[in-house]
Amino acid sequence: MHDDIAACRALLSGRRYLMSSLVPFHRDAQGRVHVGHLWHRDLMMHLDYIPDMLVLAAHVDTTGDEPMLPVEAPPGQRIDFLETGPMLGGRRQLPGALPGMIRAMRRALAQADVVHSGVAGWPMPPGLLLNPMTVRRGLPLVINIESAFWRIPEGVRAGPRWRLEAAATERLARWSASRAALAFYTQQAYADSMPVGAGGISAVTPASWIRREDVVPEDRLEALWQAKPDDLRLLLASRLTEEKGTGVVLKALQMLEDRVATLRLDVVGSGAMAGAVAAFAASARNLRVTMLREVAYATEFLPLLRGYHAALVPTTGDEQPRVILDAFSQGVPVIASDTPGNREVATGGVNALFVTRGDAAALADCLGDPGLTPGRLRALSPGARAQAAACTHEMMHRRRAALLVQALDGKMPVRR
């Protein structure tokens, strides 16, 4: 066992680590808890260095179509789930749900020695209640900020309600980070704009779902690229919404209709703009745009990526899309907007080509450039794979374990 993992386990032995989650869970008739497969992967990694965890989250009555896996702690460890209530579908349900949420948080805090929370969430950030309650009890607070989706993207016209909610969430985020013993951020821009206070530790750790075994071996890159088609083939795997840059992509494709005949773009995803993308795909005269069925991340998505020369990441917000490291793990570079989140994990000319955020003409120029060839993108493949190998899920958690030791040693309450 790695020294950092062992040190964190030793520090947290006999302590209860409370984690607030935005991801719901399902409890079956036998009392077993089930969660989505990606959240399951992350939870199991947490249990490598956190021996006693209490997860505070909403519950769902059925698993639906999403594959869910049972959560079982390894021998000698414990993981329990405490529900805040059912998963809410909108703000109108909040008044009736708030009393139960507060009771659940009080019950959880009564058992906790350290609290891991966030600053965002819909229809209400749980941290709006939990973070002040944690500070009042004098418990160390660990804040995790993976994205700032409440912020209004550049160039987007926002109504009064959105502006008010964005300002309120930003204030909560800054207040929470300033009182955190430890804050994890996925990019330096978040750490700069939502800093920790005196005595707190700030850490930038890019979010990654890829495991060591997901990263293709270096000696397989050449064979993978030889198996790709001759014509340029790109993949857009995203939620199909304005903030994810779908509108920018559509405008760029419309500009390219009479300029490029060899570009192929496959699209995987759903969202408010899926119909518009499908309509363009059906009417396009020269470009080949194909809507693919959604695929399972764990078993189908990474193999799918291998067939492409690049992934398209046109985000307009400042989040850090995990698809960048997913693509890199298969030796696939990205064509991405130049947002802070994208630049945090990708490097222009090494494993990425950057275009100006929200600029459809710039994206069209990049995609229509005669110099954008499979050979040019092939040259970026080693840099993509190397970055993925340096940013695996295991490495992210190993670093977090070391940071928890640094931040919490001597700061937790006396054991009961």
The first and second tokens of residue 101, run together, are: 């949420």
Split into its structural domains, the chain has a count of 2
Q: Is residue 292 part of a domain?
A: yes
Helix (H, G, I), strand (E, B) or coil at 276: helix
Mean pLDDT of all residues in 134-154: 92
Is the model's pLDDT at 414 over the cut of 80? Answer: no
Contact assessment for residue 77 and residue 104, using Cβ atoms and an 8 Å cutoff = no
Q: Is residue 28 part of a domain?
A: yes
| Model confidence, pTM | 0.91
The first and second tokens of residue 215, run together, are: 């990263």
What integer pLDDT is reported at residue 351 of this predicted model? 98
What integer pLDDT is reported at residue 261 of this predicted model? 65
Contact assessment for residue 405 and residue 12, using Cβ atoms and an 8 Å cutoff = no
What integer pLDDT is reported at residue 198 of this predicted model? 93
Residue 186: how many CB atoms within 10 A of its CB?
A: 26
Residues 183 and 268 in one domain: no
Residues 204 and 272 in one domain: no
Chain mean pLDDT for the chain? 93
Output phi, psi for 70, to 5 deg.
-70, 145
Residues 217 and 202 in one domain: no
Q: Is residue 415 part of a domain?
A: no
Residues 384 and 397 in one domain: no
Contact assessment for residue 234 and residue 369, using Cβ atoms and an 8 Å cutoff = no
Residues 62 and 193 in one domain: yes
Residues 51 and 148 in one domain: yes
Helix (H, G, I), strand (E, B) or coil at 43: helix
Rounded-to-integer distance, Cα 38 and Cα 67, Å:
10
Residue 165: how many CB atoms within 10 A of its CB?
A: 14
200 vs 141, 193, 396, 406, CA distance in Å? 10, 15, 19, 10
Mean pLDDT of all residues in 81-92: 92
Q: Is residue 22 part of a domain?
A: yes
Contact assessment for residue 143 and residue 182, using Cβ atoms and an 8 Å cutoff = yes
Residues 404 and 295 in one domain: no
Rounded-to-integer distance, Cα 73 and Cα 79, Å:
6
Q: In the β-sheet with 26-27, what is the strand arrangement from edge to edge?
A: 26-27, 33-36, 68-70
Helix (H, G, I), strand (E, B) or coil at 116: strand
Rounded-to-integer distance, Cα 186 and Cα 194, Å:
12
Mean pLDDT of all residues in 203-222: 93
**Model pLDDT for residues 350-393, shown as the tens digit of each residue:** 999 999 999 999 999 999 999 999 999 999 999 999 999 999 99
Lowest mean pLDDT among 70-84, 248-262, 369-383: 248-262
Residues 342 and 226 in one domain: yes
Band of residue 207 on the pLDDT scale cut at 50, 70, 90: confident
Q: Give me the count of residues in the chain.
A: 416
What CATH number did the domain enclosing 303 receive? 3.40.50.2000
Q: Is residue 416 part of a domain?
A: no
Residues 99 and 193 in one domain: yes
Is the model's pLDDT at 1 over the cut of 60? Answer: no
Rounded-to-integer distance, Cα 17 and Cα 404, Å:
11
**Model pLDDT for residues 287-334, shown as the tens digit of each residue:** 899 999 988 876 799 999 999 999 999 998 888 889 999 999 999 999
Output phi, psi for 58, to 5 deg.
-80, 160
Residues 200 and 231 in one domain: no
Q: Is residue 110 part of a domain?
A: yes
Contact assessment for residue 300 and residue 317, using Cβ atoms and an 8 Å cutoff = no
Is the model's pLDDT at 416 over the cut of 60? Answer: no
Q: Is residue 414 part of a domain?
A: no
What integer pLDDT is reported at residue 349 of this predicted model? 97
Residues 18 and 79 in one domain: yes
Residues 246 and 326 in one domain: yes
The first and second tokens of residue 300, run together, are: 């189908």
Q: Is residue 413 part of a domain?
A: no
Cis status of the peptide bond prior to 303, with omega within 30 of 0: no
Q: According to the 3-state scheme, what is the secondary structure of 136-188? A: HHCCCEEEEECCCCCCCCCCCCCCHHHHHHHHHHHHHHHHHHHCCCEEEECCH
Q: Which domain holds residue 122?
A: 3-208+393-408
